[in-house]
Amino acid sequence: MEIIIIILSLLYIFYLLFEKINLDKNRKNLKYIIHINGIRGKSTVSRLIDAGLRAGGYKVFTKTTGTAPRIIDTDAKEFEINRQGKANIREQIKAINWASKEKAEILILECMAVKPELQYICENKILNSNIVAITNVRKDHLDEMGDNLDKIAESLSNTIPKKAIFFTTDQNYFNFFKNKCEKKETKAVLSKNIKNEYWEIDFPTNIALAIDICKYLNIDKKVALEGMKSYHKDPGSLKILTYLNKKNFRIFFVNTLAANDPDSTEIILDRVSTKTYWNNERYLLVNNRVDRLSRLEQFVTFTIKFENKFDKILISGENKNLFYKYLLKNGMDKNRIIILLDEEYFENIEEDSLIFAVGNICRLGKKLVDYFEERGEIIDDK
């Protein structure tokens, strides 16, 4: 028995050595690895950079881990990754090998690690990126990253590379990140050329960050912007859909579920409230999941803060009864709260209405989004 264990252990060690040698070889075949981290906008920024670099003539391979994990290969064909089991950072090794096999010049990877120690391993033991970006520091993943912004920034900083270049649009934490970069002999760049005209494509901060990275790789700004105008959007990206329900009333559905954190959701709320479709009966739909209790508490606070902007509050998801109790505990009128049992509710609304959906997109959230996407047409996606 002991001999079998020794043999198996040796075989495993040889396998790891072979994998490491193969990884190093394939890593050297890539001119650049771009690693995108942050709380919000990682998938979008990855896709924007992908579009800008392709427009400039680079051969690019991109992997995102947004609402659904996706690959955009060197021919710009996109397809979903069919995972066997839970997400694992070993996917990044496969991405390097895959990109090398396709003879890509640049590999763009969205950070898929949440825990600080896994973020460190991903960057320092697997990727050794040439370029790293942290989109922003916001309150999310509080259980894994820490319960305040400083702790979250510290966690995100685990992906700052050695002797490379770092970009961010987060002015509040730029000096913090810059100090971290100096210790690693890495140049830090604050992307601050944020223009309102970028709204034509996406959030201006996302565009500014993507443009600066493209410019660093010698792509003309106009060329990069032109490419970004037709970038592949993430399946869970912001969409406003509309359709006529069974009673012939118009329903507008604002899908912010992929935003996840209240700060990002508030930015979208401010923008949507300037649109003409805002001038209807308004519902705040909060979807939550059983394994995200810290996020549930965040959206209780969000709901209380913005309840006066809405006529009714709809609660859905796995923790709807707990969410309901929290709202009552915080003094909300129970007559304004509706626990959503199924999607048929929307078919019985008897006036033109807007549904502003927040919280979590996974599980029941995805079912809600699918319901509206099957019936509605997109009228806005910015």
Residue 73 sits in a domain whose CATH number is 3.40.1190.10
Pairing of strands 106-110, 337-339: unpaired
pTM: 0.83
Burial string for 278-309 (b: 16+ CB within 10 Å, else e) reads bebbbbbbbbbbeebeebbebbbebbeebbee
Both 201 and 95 in one domain: the answer is yes
Residues 6+ apart with CB under 8 A from 150: none
User: Is residue 61, in this structure, part of any structural domain at all?
Assistant: yes
Both 37 and 121 in one domain: the answer is yes
| Beta strands per DSSP E along the chain | 32-37, 60-65, 69-72, 78-80, 106-110, 131-134, 165-168, 187-190, 239-244, 250-255, 281-288, 312-317, 337-339, 353-359, 377-380
Angle 204-216/221-228 helices, nearest 10 degrees?
130
Residue 220: give the domain boundaries. Answer: 31-228
DSSP string, 260-320: -SHHHHHHHHHHHTTSGGGSSEEEEEEEE-TT-HHHHHHHHHHHHHHGGG-SEEEEEETTH
Both 210 and 246 in one domain: the answer is no
Residues 6+ apart with CB under 8 A from 221: 211, 214, 215
Q: How many alpha carbons lie under 13 Å from residue 149 in its C-beta half-sphere?
A: 11
Report how far residue 28's alpha carbon sits from residue 10's, in angstroms, rounded to the nearest whole number: 27
Residue where a domain stops, chosen among 169, 196, 228: 228
Both 332 and 221 in one domain: the answer is no
Both 278 and 206 in one domain: the answer is no
Both 258 and 114 in one domain: the answer is no
With contact defined as beta carbons under 8 Å apart, do 83 and 71 qualify? Answer: no
CA distances from 116 to 25, 158, 188, 263 (A): 27, 7, 21, 22
Domain count, the chain: 2
Both 39 and 176 in one domain: the answer is yes
pLDDT tens for the chain, 382 residues long, are 677 666 666 665 655 565 666 677 888 899 999 999 999 889 999 999 999 999 999 999 999 986 678 999 999 999 888 776 676 778 888 889 999 999 999 999 999 888 899 999 989 988 999 999 999 998 777 778 878 899 999 999 999 999 999 999 999 999 999 999 999 999 999 999 888 889 889 889 999 999 999 999 999 999 999 999 989 888 777 888 999 999 999 999 999 887 777 888 898 999 999 999 999 999 999 988 776 667 788 888 999 999 999 999 999 988 888 888 989 988 889 999 999 888 899 999 999 999 999 888 766 778 888 888 888 888 876 6
CA distances from 24 to 104, 114, 177, 264 (A): 15, 24, 28, 38
H/E run at residue 178: helix 174-183
